[in-house]
Amino acid sequence: MNEEAVTTGWDAIEEQMKKLYGAQEPKHYGTVIPYMLGGKDPLDGLSAYKAEKPFPHWHIVTFGFSELYEKESEDADYSGYGFELTFRVARGENEEEPPMWALNLLQNMGRYVFNSGNIFASGDYMDANGPICLGADTQLTALAFMEDPELPPMHTPHGRVEFLQMIGITEDELEAMKTWSTLGVLEASQAALPGYITDLSRDSLLQIPAVAEAIQRGIERDGSNTGFLFVDQLAWELGKNRLFSKTPAVLALGAKQAGTIGKLLRGRLLKGKDLNLACQGLSVVLKPGTETGYEAEENEVRLKLDEAAINEISQKLQPKEEEIRLTSYKGLIIRVVRTDIKDQDGNVVSTIG
């Protein structure tokens, strides 16, 4: 950084970390070429602190989602995107440098936010579609976000900044968060996941009976907080009128998300809540009703389902390629299509369905 530069936002983050770690000098990783000048890393810096409780780990904080230097956005209430990320990663006994995969992952989160404009908030989750550490033998394939329990929100001259802790989670933990709530699952797992520290070697928390039971009770009691689900494979075909009959409409879904949608139908519609499925250019709103039927416009379908249809669909939707004809609603066919999982280079690495 230029010594003449105003570093108001940067200084505010460092002051918050000093409250936790005193005079400890963190391991700091800066960006050589700024992102706006063609550099590959969107975040201006990452600092990693050694923490000892509840067990040794790195506490990494980002610099760059908020406004570090001067106020540029028109939003007076929030600084930049309004948050910085933290990441607590298990630390080995003789480890003197934070793992590079963790630093790279945080920069990837920066690329995602800067390129898409989508921001993170407490209670969000994100499927990584593979190990969060590329090439590692780990069950952690997704991420969850919550307020860092040791870093309260701060108010800077540029606006409010929250510290969101990123947590590595397994595929079935992600499924539980979708069908209940992210914060509910994390709270139920608190004793089994002290400090919400990411450890690549850990097993799924749902293998612990007390955790699995608490999550199931929460699902049955509350239903799901997931009212909106982005679906990679989603299509709608209108039914066609023939001389003496009408062909059913067809809702096409990818196999990867079919099972999740089946669970969400129960957790949303049977609790009287809508479920919005969306992909590029199409929104399908599933609504509870006393009878079945649909209204279709160019980019939106509103599909009403009664209790019998909801139960039948939720039971039959599985992550496998098939065509589901319903006994409870003759006017609808659900077509589950194969999902190809691709790596960053576009190569198919696995297939679901």
Confidence of residue 3 (pLDDT cuts 50, 70, 90): very low
Residue pair 206/200 in contact by the 8 Å Cβ criterion: no
CA 96: distance to chain centroid?
A: 30
pLDDT at 243 over 60: no
- In tens, the pLDDT along 245-276 reads 678 999 999 998 999 999 999 999 999 999 99
pLDDT at 308 over 70: yes
Entry pTM:
0.87
| Entry field: residues in the chain | 353
pLDDT at 234 over 50: yes
Pick from 88, 17, 85, 26: nearest CA to 56: 88
Tokens (6 digits) for 303: 């599909």
- In tens, the pLDDT along 143-152 reads 999 999 999 9
Q: What is the per-residue pLDDT for 353?
A: 75
Within 10 A of 45 (CB to CB), how many other CB atoms are there? 17
For the chain, give the mean pLDDT: 92
Tokens (6 digits) for 164: 């969101």
- Mean of the pLDDT values across residues 207-219? 96
More confident residue, 187 or 130: 187
pLDDT at 290 over 90: yes
Percent of the chain with pLDDT over 90: 82
- In tens, the pLDDT along 82-98 reads 999 999 999 998 899 99
Scored b (16 or more CB within 10 A) or e, 290-325 reads eebebeeeeeebbbbbbeebbbbbbeebebebeebe
